[in-house]
A = this chain, B = another copy of it.
Amino acid sequence: MSGSLTIVGLGPGEAHWLTPAAQAAIEAASDLVGYGPYLDRLPAREGQVKHGSDNRVEVTRARHALQLAFEGRRVAVVSGGDPGVFAMAAAVFEALEAGEPDWLAVPITVEPGITAMLAAAARAGAPLGGDFCAISLSDNLKPWEVITQRLEAALSADFVISLYNPISKARPWQLGEALALAARHRPAETPVIFARAIGRADEVLRVLSMSEAVAAAGSADMATLVMIGASSTRLIAREGATPIVYTPRSVTKSPCATSQGRT
């Protein structure tokens, strides 16, 4: 039997955002490898083995998956959202590069998924209507100084900014500091979205102003995607509903003219 490895994105939450290609990859697998709660979302199938693991062991999990595939198993590594966005795909390739040379012969494919940023944007309206960036606030893997430099660059260039991994028990203050930094660049009324568990039954979408967001940082958690509007991001109020957040496609002036001394 010839093994293979597919890194599959489940999308956020319910199965209505799981692509047919990802569904097919999961069904075809002999072995499912992933973080326990993601595996729990998948029904048990006869003859299919689930290898659940803890959250913080991505490279160990990736090595295990590669070895299983090398031994001839049809392995699916499952990620929430999109596997290429702050999820398992990079960990698998890190493990591949540093691992057994024989593993290089394993066919590897990646099945994309709806990442949390797209799901949050869809629920809110169209906040990603202009140029945007995505930054992980986790400083497990990069210095905090790099994160703040990237935030400053994105703020001065007027990107919409999505913050992944905004907060955890081990990182309680980073989101507050990031939002305080944003508040020094953007007007107090700039929309900020806290999108929690979008696509799940218990999803919560909150549309705040920048100043409200700074005060509310502590109410976010690891299931929250935080999105900071650009200077042009705006609200459309609707009676009895959360306002629509959108970023117009047009930019009429240079956002950095003052801070970078350009004309």
CB within 8 Å of B: which residues of A? 11, 15-21, 24, 82-86, 89-94, 96-97, 104, 108-115, 118-119, 121-123, 125-136, 141-143, 145-146, 149-150, 152-154, 156-159, 234, 236, 238-239, 244, 246-256, 260, 262
Contact = CB atoms under 8 A, between A and B. Distances in A.
B134 A132 contact: yes
B19 A11 contact: yes
A86 B131 CA distance: 8
Contact of A94 (B150, B248, B256): B248
Contacts of A85: 118, 128
A152 B158 CA distance: 12
B244 A93 contact: yes
A110 B133 contact: no
B108 A112 contact: no
Contacts of A128: 84-85
A246 B94 contact: yes
The main secondary structure of chain A at its interface with chain B is mixed
Of the listed residues A93, A96, A115, the one surrounded by the most CB atoms of chain B closer than 10 A to its CB is A93
Contacts of A113: 114, 118
A126 B90 contact: yes
A123 B91 CA distance: 16
A110 B94 contact: no
Contacts of A109: 122
Contact of A153 (B17, B96, B153): B153
Contacts of A125: 89, 93, 110
23 contacts: A15-B20, A17-B112, A90-B129, A90-B247, A92-B126, A94-B249, A97-B234, A108-B244, A110-B122, A110-B125, A110-B126, A131-B150, A132-B133, A133-B133, A133-B159, A146-B253, A146-B254, A146-B255, A149-B255, A149-B260, A150-B157, A152-B157, A154-B154
Nearest to A115: B118
A262 B149 contact: yes
Contacts of A152: 157
B96 A236 contact: yes
Nearest to A245: B93
Given A93-B236, A111-B122, 16 more contacts: A17-B21, A19-B19, A83-B122, A84-B118, A85-B118, A85-B128, A89-B126, A93-B246, A97-B234, A109-B122, A145-B254, A146-B251, A149-B254, A149-B260, A153-B156, A154-B157
